[in-house]
Amino acid sequence: MAGILYIISAPSGSGKSTLVNELRSIVPNLDFSISYTTRPPRGSEQNGREYYFVTRDEFEKMIAEDRFLEHAEVFGNYYGTACRFLDEAKVNGKDLLLDIDVQGAAQVRRKVPDAVSIFVMPPNKNILERRLRNRSQTDKVDPKVIERRLENAQKEIVNYKEYGYILVNEILDKAVEELKAIVLSERVRRSGKQPTPDECKLIRVAEGCLLSNSHERVRPVLESFQTAASRPQPR
């Protein structure tokens, strides 16, 4: 069954981009959506590679024509995911992967209720901070930006309960295998065919990442952020 929409979200520094790149290298027939934006290109960015760069008038015309799965205005610039990518994936017999934030994911779920949603978490706040600071040394990021990203992570992470699958990215190879299992097991499930023994193994791995089966793995992450979400929830 082509045209499955996969949503993946994570706080900055959780390793989501690395996971996505690894997934795309090992799973066939999986398209990746490139966002539209009204901000100007930076450095060596090229139109159609990092983003589709359009004018504000063009973007607002697309909004008026309901051509976005999701869109938002951030620091004075629009960003959005066009519906056409999902349509093109279906026509080409492929699935589509969206790398979007929690606000965009909520918009997409309203438009595509059967989308597969995956939330990636860091192992804990200290590791996330270390990853962000190590990356900032390479990218020369202002320390204030690091603090803001940590604050945003704390706000974003409480939304994990809105997602169908949870990954805790502590060991990269394991997280890649879990992400692959989620994508491939959803294909098997929606095909309606009897799974092979190998596919049954993938299904078991994916089931271990379901939100309903992830509370023990998630609890220490939440506690490290000391969020309200770490408190016991009524059953």
Please name the amino acid found at residue 220: P
Residue 62 belongs to a domain? no
Asked if residue 43 belongs to a domain, the reply is no
The string over 24-36, giving b where at least 16 C-beta atoms fall within 10 Å of a residue's C-beta and e elsewhere, is eeebeebbebbbb
Strands of the sheet with 68-74, listed across from one edge: 52-53, 36-37, 77-82, 68-74
pLDDT at 137: 63
Q: How confident is the model at residue 230 (pLDDT cuts 50, 70, 90)?
A: very low
85 part of a folded domain: no
* Per-residue pLDDT tens over the stretch 152-186: 888 899 999 999 999 999 999 999 999 999 999 99
Residue 47 lies in a domain: no
The per-residue pLDDT for range 181-220, each reduced to its tens digit, is: 999 999 999 999 999 999 999 999 999 999 999 999 999 9
The predicted model gives 104-120 an average pLDDT of 95
Q: What is the pLDDT of residue 91?
A: 93
Answer yes or no: are the C-beta atoms of 94 and 106 closer than 8 Å: no
Find the distance separating the first CA and the last CA of the chain, reported in whole Å.
Answer: 35
Query: What pLDDT, in 10s, does the model give residues 116-165?
Result: 999 999 999 999 988 888 876 665 667 777 888 888 888 899 999 999 99
| Residue 209 in domain | yes
Q: Which amino acid does the sequence have at 39?
A: R
| CATH code at position 101 | 3.40.50.300
DSSP 14: S
| Residue 124 belongs to some domain of the structure | yes
How many domains does the chain divide into? 1
What's the pLDDT at 136?
63
pTM of the predicted structure, to 2 decimals: 0.87
**Domain limits at 225?**
5-32+95-230
List the beta bridge partners of residue 51.
47
Q: Is residue 82 a part of any domain in this protein?
A: no
Q: Which residue has the higher pLDDT, 134 or 34?
A: 34
Give the pLDDT score at 74.
82
Residue 77 lies in a domain: no
